[in-house]
Every structure is written in structure tokens, then in C-alpha cells.
A and B are shown apart, each in its own frame.
Chain A
Amino acid sequence: AQSVTQPDIHITVSEGASLELRCNYSYGATPYLFWYVQSPGQGLQLLLKYFSGDTLVQGIKGFEAEFKRSQSSFNLRKPSVHWSDAAEYFCAVGDGGATNKLIFGTGTLLAVQP
């Protein structure tokens, strides 16, 4: 069965520092991978997605993610974090079925220090 692991429950970075959030997936075929962000009290917003092709995916708000099949990873990166990036980040994998169902990781809560 498909699964997603986000090893880091909570991460704190300084404003202006680089960021990498880890995501590992378990899936038999080529996965459909997503990163969503949830600001406090808000719904989930799509940051980026990978379906196929170029393994480095660009998203909104200056985020990017790299799909590495050999490591079963889809880590999210940002070169310089802004205070407004403080939020919870969820990685998800599509189940590959006809219903577009997603399997979510447990999330990583990002705090940004001034």
C-alpha cells in the first residue's frame, strides 16, 4: 500500500536561511507527488506537484522540489525563508487509481525565527 513519511514533525529556521523539508514515499509505480501548505486556521494550498518529466519541479512562493526515484524522496526546498513561510507543510502521493485519492504525510510544522 502507498504511504508517505515526513520524518520531521517540527523545524525551526532563521529568516533568510535555506530550507529543506523531507518527504519519503512508498509506491510501486511512478508516483504522483504533491506538496501542500497550510497556514494557521486556513485550508490547504497547493505548492507544487510532480507527475512526470523533469525531476526538479518549481512551485509557487519560491519553492521547488526534487523527485529522486532511487531514494523514494520528494524533498521541498526554498533558498531563503521569509517569516510568512511559517506554516504546516504536507507531502502527499496520489494513489494511482481513477478517483484521484491522495495519501498524506503527517506534516511538518515550520517556525521561522527573526
Chain B
Amino acid sequence: NAGVTQTPKFRVLKTGQSMTLLCAQDMNHEYMYWYRQDPGMGLRLIHYSVGEGTTAKGEVPDGYNVSRLKKQNFLLGLESAAPSQTSVYFCASSRPRTSGGNTDTQYFGPGTRLTVL
């Protein structure tokens, strides 16, 4: 049981280049999330998905697109990378909110460190 995995671990891009980050989870979780982590700012939600084929914007969605074609995978795309997108990107997954109303735990991947020159 690998949990949440992210590919690649590191990447360097030039301004204007595109790339896709892959997140995969083997816990059969319905919900998946993409965050970025910047020094002194904690984690901020970029996009999230509550199920296969559905996505929604988070707090900082500009410049990113996502897709959830399969339940176990959540892709984050940068169409035209900018230096402001230099960050560490984390993917997470969770089960749906329980019938009793409790928010469920998010499980995180190891992160992707992206540098845009």
C-alpha cells in the first residue's frame, strides 16, 4: 500500500514551458487535492476533486489546470510556467465527509519541488 505518490519529485522549467504533475493514490479515496507550499505561507489549496470527472477551484487556481479522469489519479497542469509558480506542490486524498458529518483526514504525498527559471 503506497498511499499517495507524486511524480516527478523534482523539476526545473524555463518560463513559458508546460508540464504535468501526476498524483496517484491506492486508498480508493473519493476526494483529492492539490496544494502549493511557499515559505511563510503554509499550504494553499490550488484545485480539488470530489470524484472522478469533477474538479473545482481552490484558493489559488490561476495558472493551473487539473483533470481527474480516473478515481486514483489527479493531474495538475501548468500550461505556461512562470517564476511565481516556483514552489513545492503537494497532493492529498481523503474519503468523503462521513454520514455523521465529520471531516475526514487528508493523506499527503511526498511533494514535487518545482523551479521555474
Residues of A that sit less than 8 Å from B by CB:
4, 9, 32, 34, 36, 42-46, 49, 51-52, 90, 94, 96, 98-102, 104-107
Binding site secondary structure of chain A: loop
Q: Is B17 an interface residue (CB 8 A)?
A: no
Which residues of chain A are within 8 angstroms of B45 by Cβ–Cβ distance? 101-102
- CB-based nearest B residue for A90: B42
Residue on A nearest B106 in the bound complex, by CB:
A102
CB distance B108 to A106 under 8 Å?
no
Residue from A46, A101, A105 within 8 A of B58 (CB atoms): A101
Q: How far is the CB of B68 from chain A (nearest CB, A)?
A: 13
Q: Determine if A34 and B90 form an interchain contact, defined as CB atoms under 8 angstroms apart.
A: no
Contact with A along B27-44 (1 / 0, CB 8 A): 000010100000011111
Which one of B33, B40, B105 contacts A34 once the chains associate, using CB atoms below 8 Å?
B105
Q: List 22 A-B contacts (CB under 8 A).
A: A4-B42, A32-B103, A34-B105, A42-B110, A43-B109, A43-B111, A44-B43, A45-B108, A46-B105, A51-B102, A98-B96, A98-B97, A99-B50, A100-B31, A100-B94, A101-B45, A101-B58, A102-B103, A104-B42, A104-B43, A105-B42, A107-B42
Please report which residues of chain B, range 84-112, place their CB below 8 angstroms from some CB of chain A when the two chains form the complex: 90, 92, 94, 96-97, 102-111
